[in-house]
Amino acid sequence: GLDSAMSFNATSTGTYYVAAGGYSDARSGTYSMAVTSSGSTPPTPGGSGASLDDLANFLTHGYWGGSSRSFNTSGSNQITVNISGLTAAGQQLARWAFEAWEAVANIDFVETLGSAQITFDDNDSGAYASSSTSGTTILSSEVNVSTAWLANSGTTIDSYSFSTYVHEIGHALGLGHQGDYNGNATYGVDETFSNDSWQVSIMSYFDQSENTTTNASRAALISTMMSDIVAIQNLYGAPGTSSATAGNTTWGANTTLSGYMADAMNALASSRNSSVNGNSVAFTIYDVDGYDILDLSYNSTNDRVDLNGEAFSDVSGLIGNLGIARGTLIEEFRAGSGNDTIVGNDAANRIYGNGGTDTIEGGTGYDTLYGGSGNDSLFGGSGRDSLRGDIGNDSLTGGTGDDTLYGGDGDDRLFGNTSLDTLYGGAGNDYISAGDGVDFVNGDAGNDTIHGRSGWDLLNGNDGNDSIYGSQGDDTLNGGGDDDWLSGGSAWDVLFGNDGNDTLYGNFGSDVQSGGAGNDQLFGGTGDDSLRGGDGNDTLQGNQGVDRLDGGAGDDLLRGGTLRDTFVFNTGYDNDEINDFEEHRDFLLLSTSLTGGETSAANILSTYGSVVNGQVVFDFGNGDVLTLSNLSTLSGLEDNINTF
């Protein structure tokens, strides 16, 4: 027939001849011939899984016996195509397929009604492509996809007919099959690489479920796939700034894409449209530059999303059906209402978990993670991250870097880990561990438990009955309102009970404690401590060390403990009791406003001191009374009284 294409595979080495002529020499014409060397022996079928570069190299070189083929686009990236021989449905499929290849390669298909570099037809049965080459240059290609093929396989973007057009155009551009087969193939017999399937290449003969070694769901391909993208860019280069994905792009809901991919994305977000039938689909995202968003907020399935290049994700109830191409950087991801698992990439990601019990890992980069509603687990990873648990009982881990964690509503668990972290518990009964480094913590509302760990920390309980542990480092602890429990830990700590009936433990180190309002209990621990009760009926115990005890207003009980302690008394201090005063080592420090300006210890003893019911009592008037309950005589106290 006219314009025929024939192929011949030599089975042995030798000399072969071609005789070309018209029937009965009645007509004249031309012919061209291309010879491809067999090159090295293809890999043994059933071999091991290949790297992305190995898969791509086989598409461009291995299938053709070791040499590549492509159109010469060094002067212009335009490739002319003639689709006038197709039906309207076939032309639409071809145009969609052109967009698919233009999105990932420096190619611009230009339609013409005349002679073209790629000519399309639908007269023959089946689907195939052939090329005329000279050396490694494709001179022309022909693509045939029959009308019967379209009738049997559909004409929508998620039909097998569409992926067939993308596949055959791939051949026309210079790509072979993903394995050493043609016409038909059986997995387990004919594969060259064990990971050969539609998951990695639209040039494969094996759908995802036919490959028994790949964990991926069968789904129609609506784009070129990972190895196709690497391969076609090796032949023609990557698309430039005129690409459909150049600039800021949103994939999924509220897409900013145009053309066939916009129809596909809109259908995924709303079930179907006139261009999409609603079949299960798989695709690979290739994006040029800009701030890019993947929005799957419409999904109610439990998705597993990995935003790293060359990674596969499980979305819309399928397995391994979404790929991120090499070199593609997605900055923002929005999950749906399912229980999702999300892994960020090297960019400064902004990730929204939304509904469901989600697990989010920021990865490297300065990330911002939002748990949304549900009991979520957020991990900042390296970089300076911001984690927000939002609603639910969440777990937030900052990782390395200077992180900021917001628990939000619910009973949350916050872990700062290393570096300088800022942690806010939010409403609810939270557990907060600041971690290593110099940290700032606000428990906010609720009964919170806060651990400073190592480093110099500022720990604030705020509202609620909080338990705060300074641990290592010189820490500052603020109980806030309500009844709090504060423990300074090792090193020199500062503790403020503030409002409520608080309990303060200095533990190790020379600590400063202030009970604030309420009936507080203060325990100095080891070290030379300073304890001030503040308002309320307080109990102060210095324990070991050279301590300073100041009960403040209210009826207070003071016990210095071992070593030389100083007890402070001033106007408005009401009725205080010291029950372990040692005249040979301890001191009373009295304000001159209390003693009427008197500074002489002897005069103070004679004017205000007395023994009442076997106890030493100093009555300064106006309700200010200091009792040394363990002493029964004023004798020997002159050396123990100082004023200020």
Sign of CA dihedral 281, 287, 379, 269: negative
Q: Which DSSP letter does residue 276 get?
A: B
Q: What is the pLDDT of residues 524-560, one digit of tens each?
A: 999 999 999 999 999 999 999 999 999 999 999 999 9
Instruction: Say whether pLDDT at 607 is over 90.
Output: yes
Mean pLDDT of 502-510: 96
168 is catalytic: yes
User: C-alpha distances in angstroms, 160 versus 149, 321, 455?
Assistant: 9, 16, 61
Whole-number average pLDDT of the chain: 94
Q: What tokens does 339 get?
A: 């229980």
pLDDT attached to residue 274: 87
CA distance 364 to 375: 24
Q: What is the pLDDT of residues 384-405, one digit of tens each?
A: 999 999 999 999 999 999 999 9
Instruction: Say whether pLDDT at 218 is over 70.
Output: yes
Residues near 13 by beta carbon (within 8 Å), at least 6 away in sequence: none
Of residues 257, 253, 275, the one with CA closest to residue 266 = 253
pTM: 0.88
User: C-alpha distances in angstroms, 168 versus 141, 251, 482?
Assistant: 10, 26, 73
pLDDT attached to residue 11: 61
Q: What is the pLDDT of residues 304-329, one digit of tens each?
A: 999 999 999 999 999 999 999 999 99
Q: How far apart are the first and last CA of the chain?
A: 119
Of residues 401, 353, 400, 399, the one with CA closest to residue 377 = 353
Q: How many CA atoms lie within 13 A of 67 on its CB side?
A: 14
Q: How many CB atoms lie within 10 A of CB 329?
A: 19
Choose the catalytic residue: 142, 168, 210, 577: 168
Q: What is the pLDDT of residues 445-468, one digit of tens each?
A: 999 999 998 889 999 999 999 999
Instruction: Say whether pLDDT at 39 is over 50.
Output: no
In the chain the domains, ranked by start, together with CATH numbers, are: 64-236 (3.40.390.10), 250-540 (2.150.10), 564-643 (no CATH)
Instruction: Say whether pLDDT at 119 is over 70.
Output: yes
Phi, psi of 14, rounded to the nearest 5 degrees: 170, -170
Element (H, E) at 605: helix 601-608
**12 falls in which pLDDT band (50, 70, 90)?**
low
Q: What tokens does 370 get?
A: 């939002």
Q: Which DSSP letter does residue 44 get?
A: P
Instruction: Say whether pLDDT at 28 is over 80.
Output: no
Mean pLDDT of 423-439: 95
